[in-house]
Amino acid sequence: MSRSRRRRGRHARPSAHGPGTIVRLLPGSAARPVCIVLGGVGGIALVAVVALTPDSPPRRPGRAVVQVVRPATVAPSPAPSVAPGVPDLGNDARDEAAVAYYRSRGRPAAAHVREAIWTAPILRVYTDLPGSDANAPAAIALCRTGAAYLESRSRAPVVFVHARERDGYPVLANKMDSADDCRLGRVP
């Protein structure tokens, strides 16, 4: 083993150019209070720099700040026209046309529909059925009617029929694709 390696053993002293330089220059009893004072002074200096920095707009780290200035002469653009009752495919929205479709079918199960929401690519049908009605005839009928509604609008027939609110909206029946029969695979 070389001499330089033997010197750097377990009891080697820090180099004179490292952070321990100040500590080595002080007697043992004074080192700790001096380090605490230096740390406190450094912390106060950091707080002062942050507090005295000119105000800037708040932003999240890592995100570019972009300010858009609009001329006062620009008129607001009109909202895109959408046929009444048909939700915009890009946004989650209540699908009143789906509720109307259920009502027009006149089935007794349609009376259980409280709300239909389009959360692309899923039609979620909220009912007043209890959570224990998983795979019940009414839930299956609502799922099949929802699938027919989506297919009539050239959408994939993906439907989830949910139970009432007080039961926590569990899924009672669902259809994931055109080959699915609306029955849940395993009912808890």
Structural tokens at position 22: 């100040």
CA distance 147 to 116: 12
Q: What is the pLDDT of residues 162-188, one digit of tens each?
A: 999 999 999 999 999 888 999 998 655
Q: What is the pLDDT of residues 20-62, one digit of tens each?
A: 566 566 666 666 777 777 778 877 877 777 666 665 555 444 4
- Entry pTM: 0.51
Amino acid 144: pLDDT: 93
Amino acid 106: pLDDT: 72
